[in-house]
Copies of this chain bind each other. A is one copy, B any other.
Amino acid sequence: MVTATIRDVARLAGVSAMTVSRVLNASPHVADATRRRVEAAVAELGYVPNGLARGLTRRRSKTVAVVVPDIANPFFTLIVRGAEEVAWRAGYHVLLSNSRGDLDRERANIDDMLASRVDGMLLAAAADGSGSKLKALGRDDVPFVLVDRTIPGYRGDLVKGDGVEGARQLVEHLTALGHRRIAMITEPADVSTSRERQTGYREALEAAGIPFDPSLVVEASAIDAASVRAAANGLLDRPVPPTAVFAVNNLVALGVADTAQARGLELPRDLSLVCFDDIAYAPQLNPFFTAIAQPAETFGTIAMQLLLDRISGLLDDAGRIVVLPGELVVRASASAPR
């Protein structure tokens, strides 16, 4: 059996292809007896409708693309899982692609997905530079929803966390503990979440009357463990090192903890550490991070729901922005400075 077609089924059932199509699509105007004959033929042939042909005529593929910077980053993984779940329930397939945080690759991926005629796209943008491509997308009227990261001037659908507020809480927690030399390890400034978290960091410092020291803010890439180590070491090598570090996300925090411990520092005694994003599955991290926990999987479900609604034309407003609050979880990685 080399894949039966609708005509094979029709022949076997002694009807026309059209009638088979009606049965398949649950059209009401089919006699019961005919319907049963067709169903029997479908079963006998193990017939599976050809999605490509269907997509071609119906002009929609029942497939949505999900593009993330790193599928192995637990935060994005959860987004993907949430999105897949919602898509699946609605009868949509998920085309996954990993941009690796690389704008060129992301751009290529988006083009590929468009060629596949996806009905919509969920995008955790690599960086601000993704914007130009999005405009093209908009013109092709392929609905898309941004998750987690936004882009300056973007006016479409977006599901994100509150980076300013989260960072503010984290750093305020540190200042309340008595820290005054608080460093931040951030990702490049062309990523909106980094910018927001840095804004929150500065707001909290200001609120505590601590002057902003640019040399205490260093850049690293979560994907690149070596860059995180280098950043942490740079900070700790300073004549007067910081007493606390605010890591832009959990992966960076893990790198900082690792580096500190390798230098014989004990957390939180010798260094306090807080970060964005909780670590799944690992309550026995030592010390378990004080962090802003974000509902990552919910980012995915809400964003996908929004996308699907957009696809089915249920929504007609310009662009919805959903901001999901994070939760400050105080644990053991931060204490008063010595």
Contacts and interface: CB of A to CB of B under 8 A. Distances in A.
Interface of A: 1-3, 46, 48-53, 55-56, 61, 63, 66, 70-72, 74, 77-78, 80-81, 84-85, 88, 93-98, 109, 111-117, 136, 139-141, 251, 254, 257-258, 261, 279-286
A2 B94 CA distance: 23
B115 A48 contact: yes
Question: Does more than half of chain A's interface fall in helix, strand or loop, or is it mixed?
Answer: mixed
Closest A-B pairs by Cβ, 6 of them: A286-B286, A96-B96, A51-B116, A52-B55, A51-B115, A72-B81
Contacts of A258: 283-284
B52 A116 contact: yes
Contacts of A66: 96
Copies in the complex: 2
Contacts of A96: 66, 80, 84, 94-96
B72 A93 contact: no
A95 B97 contact: no
A35 to B, nearest CB: 20
9 contacts: A48-B111, A70-B81, A71-B80, A84-B98, A88-B98, A93-B95, A93-B97, A95-B95, A261-B284
A97 B72 contact: no
A109 B140 CA distance: 29
Contacts of A109: 88
Contacts of A141: 2
Contacts of A114: 48
Contacts of A63: 95, 116
Contacts of A112: 93
B285 A286 contact: yes
A43 B139 CA distance: 15
A128 B40 CA distance: 29
A49 B285 CA distance: 50
A77 B84 contact: no
A139 B46 CA distance: 11
Nearest to A98: B84
Nearest to A256: B284
Contacts of A56: 50, 52-53, 56
